[in-house]
Amino acid sequence: MEGQMEIGVVVEAVHKVEPPPLQTTLDKLKVRLKETFFPDDPFRRFKGQPSKRKWLLTFQYLFPVLVWAPNYSLSLFKSDLIAGLTIASLAIPQGISYAKLANLPPIIGLYTSFVPPLVYAVLGSSRDLAVGPVSIASLIMGSMLRQVVNPNTDPYLFLQLAFTATFFAGLFQASLGILRLGFIIDFLSKATLVGFMAGAAIIVSLQQLRNLLGIVHFTKKMGVVPVTSSVFHNTNEWSWQTVVMGICFLAFLLLARHVSMRRPKLFWVSVGAPLASVIISTLVVFLFKAQNHGISIIGKLKCGLNRPSWDKLLFDSTFLGTTMKTGLVTGIISLTEGIASGRTFASLRGYQVDGNKEMMAIGLMNIVGSCTSCYVSTGAFSRSAVNHNAGCKTAMSNVVMAMTVMVTLLFLMPLFAYTPNVVLGAIIIAAVIGLIDVPAALHIWKLDKVDFLVCLSSFLGVIFISVQEGLAIAVALSIFRILLQTTRPKVIALGNIMGTNIYRDLHQYKEAKKVPGFLILAIEAPINFSNTTYLKERITRWIEEENTMEDKETGLKFLILDLSAVPTVDTSGISFLIDLKKTTEKYGLQLIFVNPMGEVMEKLQRANKIDNFLGVDSLFLTIGEAVFSLSSSFTKGTA
């Protein structure tokens, strides 16, 4: 027994590895499907309820407004009124600006701040989300559609395509929700988004130089290079009046932003600044007749609410590919922003947002929007933050905002005729600059270099190639990383921590010591077709290295594979294990499997029925028991 104690094995009973209880393939399939599509178990609260209550719950599930409306009170309304008016003061100038970013008439931006918030108030489950057009989705839609139709020469067709793309975006979003495929947006990781947002912000800002400098002829392309060259090749078009006005208002907006960031209580300063800019600049233009001095203005706008636009949806095969692609990209981007914003504020207040249900709400909102002269909208992060800070209590704040926008649409539109485009450019720049999140990028760099690479490639891809391709590169890299983790799984050599029966990574723990005669390896990934070749090469190399290092007298006798971290194994994996058994025999080693998990154990047993490769003493529940049992039998054998 002396020898045993040295390698730290505590004497204990040897336990058998059990297969999991028998389940039919159908049962397994059911469990698998449930875990894949219904991990949050949305039907849980329906269980054991009377059928009347079930109907109520179903309606409440479909229309979350039924949850909060019955208990709505005047005091709640007071809070929502203030929050609603606050976000309206932001939504009106942003709506006009973002529509211009998408190459659409400014009024479409206001339409989009009217109908979708009303729809969301009925269907959405977030209490903080402020709905309307957003900068990134506007930018993407504008640039993707501009590749096939020129918005200046053919504005009507462009508008049709924008509505159609919005329809597809909504359809795609709602389908994701209904099919419970919401996890697709998870593939846009934080790192991807940080890089993407920063890149998009730079592109948007550069493009706004057009308005800020008063350039008339500007490139249609999106990259940094063509835009910058466009800026400096048209210096003769620069108008000093526009430049002065632009710099003044940009400085004002950035200062307001700075003040609010320093003192969170003064958040209303940055909220009010855009509307103030619009009012002041419009007055300045009106009083000094600046439109005659090189400052371009929005021009006449008609009063009136959204007109129906379902007759404008264009399913013509010439443009179908473009509108579907645009819908897909803007749909997924705006969904990501909407869901992420909803989840952030829900977790701040401690309530739950059901991702799949939100997708249905946002999708339906865009489908309705596309039929009522709106382009793609979602919950904007910055505006939701304002909504939250202004003390909103329910989705009613969206209704208040929509009503304010309605009043504007009905009566105040003529006032915007003299609003200069340069101020809209300044508002956009000031809004998107907040998307460049340097601290987040630094945080990623500190924690994970590969994630930073993803972030960087998404950033560089967006600014040098295109918005869609930058995103695609980053997503491909992220997926490639996951595949690589399976294709090149970690294999760890374990050693015994003296005086215990704990086995841990030899590299990580200095106290862990090799057990003479044993090579103990833990595989940290599913064993499947993509890694069996690697595992074979790697383990063979390990055996050979150990054989040269190992003391010739004792020699390597056992290879223990710890399968605790192998969740699944496929047919290639089983073939690999059988193959490994033969290889180890060639080296004169005995192969032992430790702690195979349910599914792995089941497949080992099934394969054993066919090939009969599991010998006596080839399965143990713990490494400690395996080492104890085998080394004692080994000592007996040689004694």
Phi, psi of 320 (to 5 degrees): -60, -45
Q: Residues 450 to 479: which contact its own copies by CB under 8 A?
A: 450-451, 478-479
Phi, psi of 238 (to 5 degrees): -55, 140
554: left (phi over 0), alpha (psi -120 to 50) or beta: alpha
**Judged by CB under 8 A, does residue 486 bind its own copies?**
yes
**Judged by CB under 8 A, does residue 531 bind its own copies?**
yes
**Judged by CB under 8 A, does residue 61 bind its own copies?**
no
Residue matched to tokens 């095969």: 317
**Judged by CB under 8 A, does residue 585 bind its own copies?**
no
Are 335 and 359 within 8 A, CB to CB? yes
**Judged by CB under 8 A, does residue 439 bind its own copies?**
no
The distance of closest approach from Cβ of residue 71 to its own copies in the complex, given in angstroms and rounded to an integer, is 23
Cα separation, 114 vs 131, whole angstroms: 9
The distance of closest approach from Cβ of residue 324 to its own copies in the complex, given in angstroms and rounded to an integer, is 20
Among 2, 18, 551, 553, binds its own copies (CB under 8 A): 18
Cα separation, 366 vs 309, whole angstroms: 13
**Judged by CB under 8 A, does residue 15 bind its own copies?**
yes
The distance of closest approach from Cβ of residue 456 to its own copies in the complex, given in angstroms and rounded to an integer, is 13
Stretch touching its own copies by CB under 8 A, among 221-229, 393-401, 402-410, 529-537: 529-537
**Judged by CB under 8 A, does residue 25 bind its own copies?**
yes
Cα separation, 144 vs 331, whole angstroms: 13
Among 27, 49, 152, 186, binds its own copies (CB under 8 A): 186
Are 254 and 335 within 8 A, CB to CB? no
Q: Residues 554 to 573: which contact its own copies by CB under 8 A?
A: 564-565, 567-568, 570-572
**Residue 247 or residue 483: which is nearer to its own copies going by CB?**
483
Q: Residues 35 to 54: which contact its own copies by CB under 8 A?
A: 35-36, 39-41, 44
The distance of closest approach from Cβ of residue 53 to its own copies in the complex, given in angstroms and rounded to an integer, is 18
The distance of closest approach from Cβ of residue 348 to its own copies in the complex, given in angstroms and rounded to an integer, is 11
Q: Residues 189 to 208: which contact its own copies by CB under 8 A?
A: 189-192
Stretch touching its own copies by CB under 8 A, among 52-60, 263-271, 387-395, 439-447: 439-447
Residues 356-395: x where in contact with its own copies by CB under 8 A, - otherwise, as a string: ----------------------------------------
Q: Residues 146 to 185: which contact its own copies by CB under 8 A?
A: 183
Give the number of residues in contact with its own copies, rule: CB under 8 A.
92
Among 307, 524, 555, 615, binds its own copies (CB under 8 A): 524
Q: Residues 489 to 518: which contact its own copies by CB under 8 A?
A: 489-490, 492, 497, 499-500, 502, 504-505, 507-511
**Judged by CB under 8 A, does residue 587 bind its own copies?**
no
- Specify the pairing of strand 512-513 against strand 518-523: unpaired
**Judged by CB under 8 A, does residue 294 bind its own copies?**
no
**Residue 220 or residue 490: which is nearer to its own copies going by CB?**
490
Residues 533-552: x where in contact with its own copies by CB under 8 A, - otherwise, as a string: xx--xx--x-----------
Q: Where are the beta strands (DSSP E) in 460-581?
A: 491-497, 503-505, 512-513, 518-523, 558-562
Q: Residues 245 to 274: which contact its own copies by CB under 8 A?
A: none
| C-alpha distance from residue 520 to each of 8, 251, 455, 507 (Å) | 15, 65, 38, 13
Are 129 and 338 within 8 A, CB to CB? yes
Are 352 and 192 within 8 A, CB to CB? no
CA contacts within 13 A on the Cβ side of 406: 12
Kindly state the DSSP code that residue 556 receives in the 8-state scheme.
-
Q: Where are the beta strands (DSSP E) in 408-535?
A: 491-497, 503-505, 512-513, 518-523
CA 581 from chain center: how many Å?
Answer: 43
Cα separation, 519 vs 626, whole angstroms: 12
| C-alpha distance from residue 37 to each of 89, 183, 300, 351, 352 (Å) | 40, 9, 51, 21, 18
Among 187, 238, 268, 587, binds its own copies (CB under 8 A): 187
**Residue 257 or residue 488: which is nearer to its own copies going by CB?**
488
